[in-house]
């Protein structure tokens, strides 16, 4: 497959790729070590230029009729839909995930653009009659939005940030992750053909350099970030210092609960495996704490371990691959370190636990799907590992289990399996999580709100409510006539 990549990418500002003054860094295939392209790391000068372009474009873009903004988003979605195969290959090379997953990412991303193209058409204010007149509450864009995204699902992340922001009339300066910039830089080529100059700008680089310069820029009107909770705190601090609105989608250690009335063990085992291992476990919403009732523990665990033992750890482009390569050596070593922590804490290793060597991909960190029987107070149950590691916790007492499920600094997502609808709804109500999936983990559709409780973030994405986070309310009160004097008579 010809990727069609440029040899080098500079910052994308005002619908043009600029040279940039920063150092160059490599984008390499994490599985093979192959050099895919080089990029310019953007510094203060490039951030200034990008924000200036976005500020200059914003009044005209805000004045653009909603119907036209919607049409342009639909056009972008259609163009991306026609280029899915190539873009899926780019992401698979850039981040090491298997091609089947990065292909599905393209479908989700196109759906985001189409959803917000439609949603903006019904994003309305409100008003009512008052004595002697009427008041109107209207929604207006915030201005220039600084957006910083992670590396695990780059195509989805770009769509989830760009679509609602520009639909609502804002302009954007987006920083992709330095480990996953290529599909976003390629997206810029379509943006230049469809959108007015300055509406969407992209500046590659590291968080400590480019990201810091962007979120502290005085021309920014909003910060939106997806990534770790630790970095999220820095984003929140930057927003607090400048009194800017901030939305954060952060880490997770999600509980996935199996009740004793289930009988379809093979199907549940498959969904549990998917919940924990999709994206090679590099997902903030992964179901990495599995609570299994002791009455069904043995049959479910037999089915789960059997299924994971048959999982194919292989190169990203192997059609049989179930799991593939982690994004970097650093991430691979981090996951292996956590597996060692689990052993040292006394967790019982049920399957996996090792790195695999894959022919032709010797540079990559391919880690077996790993399952521990553990206690909820262990580090592997408390901390976000971001790899294919699942911790299983037995339970028998409902209240104790629920307390443990909620005993986490995170609250991004949760899942549960039961045939009892009353139990499902009661448990969903009591789980401290922004998303609760019943009988199908990861059941995230366009229009369903996504975001976290506690240290998993602030705000909601993927839904109509997201548009509220990219706008502000202005009230206009109309009086029919000037009132009779009452202050000075």
Active-site position among 188, 279, 284, 305: 284
Instruction: Give the DSSP letter of residue 177.
Output: -
CA distance 61 to 396: 57
Q: For residue 202, how many other CB atoms are within 10 A of its CB?
A: 25
Whether 249 is catalytic is yes
Choice among 249, 368, 384, 461 that is catalytic: 249
Task: Tell me, yes or no, if 284 is annotated catalytic.
Answer: yes
* Exposure class string for 148-185: b at 16+ Cβ within 10 A, else e: bbbbbbbbbbbbbbbbbbbbbbbbbbbbbbbbbbbbbb
Secondary structure element (H or E) that encloses residue 455, with its range: none
Can you tell me whether residue 325 is helix, strand or coil? strand
CA distances from 29 to 8, 66, 95 (A): 15, 40, 7
Instruction: Annotate 84-153 with DSSP letters as a single string.
Output: HHHHHHHHHHHH---HHHHHHHHHHHHHHHHHHHHHGGG---EEEEETTEEEEEEEEE-SEEEEE--SSS
**Alpha carbon 108 to its chain's center:** 12
Would you give the DSSP letter of residue 195? S
**Angle separating helix axes 84-95 and 154-167, nearest 10 degrees:** 120
Active site amino acids: 249, 284
């Amino acid at each position: 497959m010809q990727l069609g990549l440029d040899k080098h990418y500079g910052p994308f500002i005002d619908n043009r790729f600029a040279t940039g003054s920063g150092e160059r860094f490599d984008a390499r295939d994490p599985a093979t070590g192959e050099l895919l392209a080089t990029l310019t790391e953007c510094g203060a000068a490039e951030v200034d230029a990008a924000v200036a372009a976005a500020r200059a474009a914003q009044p005209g873009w805000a004045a653009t009729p909603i119907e036209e903004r919607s049409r342009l988003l639909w056009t972008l979605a259609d163009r991306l839909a026609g280029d899915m195969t190539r873009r899926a290959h780019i992401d698979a090379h850039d981040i090491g995930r298997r091609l089947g997953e990065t292909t599905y990412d393209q479908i989700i991303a196109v759906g985001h653009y189409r959803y917000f193209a439609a949603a903006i058409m019904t994003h309305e204010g409100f008003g009512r009659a008052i004595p002697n007149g009427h008041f109107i509450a209207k929604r207006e864009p915030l201005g220039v939005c600084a957006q910083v995204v992670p590396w695990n699902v780059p195509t989805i992340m770009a769509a989830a940030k760009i679509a609602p922001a520009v639909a609502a009339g804002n302009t954007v300066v987006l920083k992709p992750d330095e480990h996953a910039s290529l599909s976003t830089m390629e997206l810029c080529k379509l943006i230049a053909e469809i959108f007015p100059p300055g509406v969407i700008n992209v500046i590659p680089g590291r968080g400590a350099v480019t990201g810091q310069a962007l979120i502290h820029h005085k021309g920014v009107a909003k910060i939106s970030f997806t990534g770790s909770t630790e970095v999220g705190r820095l984003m929140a601090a930057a927003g607090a210092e400048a009194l800017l609105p901030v939305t954060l989608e952060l880490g997770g250690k999600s509980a996935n609960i199996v009740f004793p009335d289930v009988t379809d063990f093979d199907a549940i085992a498959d969904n549990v495996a998917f919940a924990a291992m999709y994206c090679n476990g590099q997902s903030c919403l992964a179901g990495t704490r599995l609570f299994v009732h002791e009455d069904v523990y043995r049959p479910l665990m037999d089915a789960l371990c059997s299924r994971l033992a048959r999982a194919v750890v292989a190169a990203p482009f192997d059609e049989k691959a179930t799991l593939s390569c982690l994004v970097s050596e650093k991430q691979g070593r981090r996951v292996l370190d956590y597996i060692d922590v689990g052993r040292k804490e006394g967790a019982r290793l049920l399957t996996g636990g090792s790195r695999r060597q894959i022919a032709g991909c010797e540079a990559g960190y391919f880690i077996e799907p790993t399952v521990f029987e553990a206690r909820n107070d262990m580090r592997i149950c408390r901390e976000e590992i971001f790899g294919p590691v699942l911790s299983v916790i037995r339970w028998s007492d409902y209240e104790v289990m629920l307390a443990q499920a909620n005993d986490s600094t995170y609250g991004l997502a949760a899942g549960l399996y039961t045939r009892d609808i009353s139990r499902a709804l009661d448990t969903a109500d009591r789980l401290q999580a922004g998303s609760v999936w019943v009988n199908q983990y990861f059941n995230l559709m366009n229009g369903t709100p996504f975001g976290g409780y506690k240290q998993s973030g602030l705000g909601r994405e993927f839904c109509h409510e997201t548009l509220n986070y990219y706008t502000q309310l202005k009230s206009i009160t109309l009086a029919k006539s000037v009132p009779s004097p009452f202050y000075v008579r």
